[in-house]
Structure 1
Amino acid sequence: MKLAYFVHDLNDPAVARRVRMLRAGGAEPVVLGFYRGDAPPDMIAGAEAIDLGRTYDGRLGHRARATLRAALGVGRLGEILAGAEVVLARSLEMLLVAVAARRLCATSAGVVYECLDIHRVMLGQNLASRTMRGLERALLRRCSLLVVSSPAFTREYFEALQGLCPDAPPPVLLLENKVLELDEPSLSPARERSAARPWRIAWLGAIRCRRSLDILTDLARRRPDLVDVRIHGRPAYSEFADFAAQTTQTPNLMFGGAYVADDLPRLYGDADFCWAIDYMEEGQNSAWLLPNRVYESSRFGATPIALKGVETGRFLEARGFGVRLADGLDIEAFLDQLTPEAYAALRTRLQAAPSHDFYADRSDCLALVETLSAARRLPTDGGK
């Protein structure tokens, strides 16, 4: 099945993971999208990558203009898109481009919307927010399938705010942000844990929550006896006053930069806990998402720390493991009271959880592509 995959950032590691899933499931994707960073790749996980231009974190006006230019100029992609059976769009901006591409270049393709975050601009009551939701509703009517990474996105946003009816198209596929393991799992042995202070907390992935950084740096500065914080990933520098200064001037806190998927067993295997708390869009996207880190840390042996009352906390509660706090500031009191015996009990509960809750294998890839293949046969008015 030939598939055109429109993405917001060709350099996003999560895009490469999805491309690997698609290829492992039997699809033949070509990836088209914007890029952030110094240069776009020519290939992503064995698939051809087509650069549509550069965009930047936080610059919504620039991204809107770039999206409009790409949608208006999509006709030049006719040869690349010829024969595509499915047009898959990662994010709303790319859905606009994908619908235009389907209309002009791949008129028999099914359109699939992959929504992995609900941006705060979609949730307001001003004219801009209402206009964006109206655009999304119009584009959804042209979709054969909606893919979400958290059930709360469907429940709290698409049904509650966008009026999506559970019994009407497009149908919804829950595709969680699990670790991708295409070969026989071979987990690296975790470090020998002394079950004693300082407790090591790993914060990995998209680093974008200013309040989380403030909590962790303050705690590391005041209590080097209690915590050792390790941060790895891709910071959204626009969200912080001075990320570099804050991370380099804090004792017992280290920023290790970007990493690749093969580093995850080591990075989490060296940690006692994973920071899975996010305040960036408190009460909205942060309350609804199920981030990569909750699956990755659970898979590789670091107990996740989340908030009660948000989807991540409910995920942990339903599976009977992890730490759930009322507020991130409660982390100091929790760790102060943590005994070696209580820590051992936390690890035992994590190890008892079904491992397939945390990783996707080849059978999951085949199921995904089969679902996408069925979506191309569903009715769509995208060609009208």
Structure 2
Amino acid sequence: MLHVLYFVHDLSDPSVRRRVLTLQAGGARVTLAGFRRDENALAAISGVAPIELGRTRDAQFLQRVGAIAKSALALRGRLQHVEKPDVIIARNLEMLALASRAVSIFGGNVPVAYECLDIHRLLLSGGVAGKAVRGVEHYLGANAKLLLTSSPAFVENYFQDLSGLDLPTMLLENKVIALDEPADAAICAARVPRTGEPWKIGWFGALRCRKSLNLLADFSRKMDGRFEIVLRGRPTAAVFDDFDGFVQNEPFIQFHGAYKNPEHLPLIYGEVQFSWAIDFFEEGQNSNWLLPNRLYEGGLHGAVPIAMAGTETSRFLANRKTGMTLDKADLDSLVALLGDMSEESYLDAYATVAAQDRRNWIIDRGECQALVERLASLTRPSRALAHPQNLTQPHRNEGGLL
């Protein structure tokens, strides 16, 4: 059984839980090590007791650098009871530094996979700080054997031309784990509101976009109760000064806290008609390139996704002839898109989602096994990985694995 040592930046991040479950479903044994930014019981993984390396704070880059340096010095002791892994996965640049340290602790011959699911704005800066951070990434990543990333646009806009890294690449979209469901499982039924009830837009997951919150608040007030905004997930404290206070003062917004992925998805998406798949957190850069978790979660469960024009998400949906696209990030455009919503127009939009191949939205047991096999191949030098071909063609691999 392949033994994977997985270094993560935030043990409370629900997407870490999803990746561990994916690896386990593929047949790997996982040792999890990382930092914690807050408490989130729903991110706990049955049978996995993580090695906690310390505490970090969101949006506090220098604090995190200090925590990494301190942890690197103590890492040998933290790993003293860990059996030598077959492969190390480093989730983002910070963890790549610890992975490099761990390789030396285990004898210098453990292959590393670099998992990068967001491109931080510092990596894109043209100034001295940006060049320095990219230099660190190039130094630490030069000996990695594989790049794992979640969107073709990350490769096209950063890794091919700017990062300086030249790594075989595997695309792992943020799909929903669906291990034992039949391929033809029924999608959630359409849910037309009863007379007098509002249409509902769900914004679920990492809530880190003040612009989205303000826009949705203005829209719901403009519609005077015809639309309700339902929020679920983890608000980012570094973005919102008083998230709870803001929501309490909005008559048509409700927040229901964290949820468990994938266990709670049918219930929470089954309560809304639309899924907000827009992010302005790093507008023009990372936000334009990512393919968010909520895109796949909502699509699988019959919520009509709403994307921003000109983004990778909107291209994903356009290629599949589904979803709705907001042309401009302002109130008038959102009113024009949704304000005249009728039962007929909703059912037409829903039908395009329901017609999609489930494989657009899910990672099944076979794909989990393919991931673990790809990682296992890193331990076999005679079967060196070839670099991916045609990576500039968006969504050329409908199954999500290159």
Question: Which residue matches 2:397?
Answer: none
Choose the corresponding residue for 1:376, options 346, 371, 379.
379
SS, match of residue 61 in structure 1? helix
Aligned 1:269-284 pairs, distance under 5 A:
269-284=270-285
Choose the corresponding residue for 1:332, options 331, 335, 348.
335
Q: Is the 8 A contact 1:42 1:49 kept in 2?
A: no
Question: Which residue matches 2:322?
Answer: 321
Question: Which residue matches 1:193?
Answer: 192
Question: Which residue matches 1:352?
Answer: 355
Aligned 1:85-96 pairs, distance under 5 A:
85-96=86-97
Give the partner amino acid of 2:174.
N
Q: Which is richer in helix?
A: 1
CA displacement, residues 313-365 of structure 1 (integer Å, 9 cap, x when unaligned): 11100111000111232211111233322221111111111111101111011
Q: Does structure 1 residue 363 correspond to structure 2 residue 360? A: no
Q: Is the 8 A contact 2:225 2:252 kept in 1?
A: no
Give the partner amino acid of 1:176.
E
Aligned 1:61-210 pairs, distance under 5 A:
61-164=62-165, 169-184=166-181, 189-190=188-189, 192-194=191-193, 198-210=198-210
Question: Which residue matches 1:31?
Answer: 32
Greater Cα shift, 261-270 or 292-301: 261-270
Q: Is the 8 A contact 1:5 1:31 kept in 2?
A: yes
Number of equivalenced pairs: 376
Question: Which residue matches 2:253?
Answer: 253
TM, length-normalised to structure 2:
0.89
Greater Cα shift, 38-47 or 308-317: 38-47
Separation in 2 of the partners of 1:247 and 1:265? Answer: 24
Q: CA deviation at 1:85?
A: 0.7
CA displacement, residues 249-303 of structure 1 (integer Å, 9 cap, x when unaligned): 1011101111112221111111111011111100100001000000000000101
Question: Which residue matches 1:213?
Answer: 213
| Distance change in 2, residues 1:40/1:77 (3 Å) | farther
Please, what is the CA RMSD of the aligned residues?
A: 2.1
Give the partner amino acid of 2:279.
D
SS, match of residue 267 in structure 1? helix
Greater Cα shift, 285-294 or 184-193: 184-193
Give the partner amino acid of 2:25.
A
Q: CA deviation at 1:225?
A: 3.5
Q: CA deviation at 1:191?
A: 6.5
TM, length-normalised to structure 1:
0.93
Question: Which residue matches 1:19?
Answer: 20
Separation in 1 of the partners of 2:191 and 2:44? Answer: 39
Q: Which runs of 5+ in 2 are unaligned?
A: 385-402
Q: CA deviation at 1:208?
A: 0.3
Give the partner amino acid of 1:34.
F
Separation in 2 of the partners of 1:240 and 1:54? Answer: 21
Separation in 2 of the partners of 1:40 and 1:67? Answer: 24
Q: Is the 8 A contact 1:19 1:47 kept in 2?
A: no
Q: CA deviation at 1:81?
A: 3.9
Separation in 1 of the partners of 2:186 and 2:60? Answer: 40
Q: Is the 8 A contact 2:31 2:50 kept in 1?
A: yes
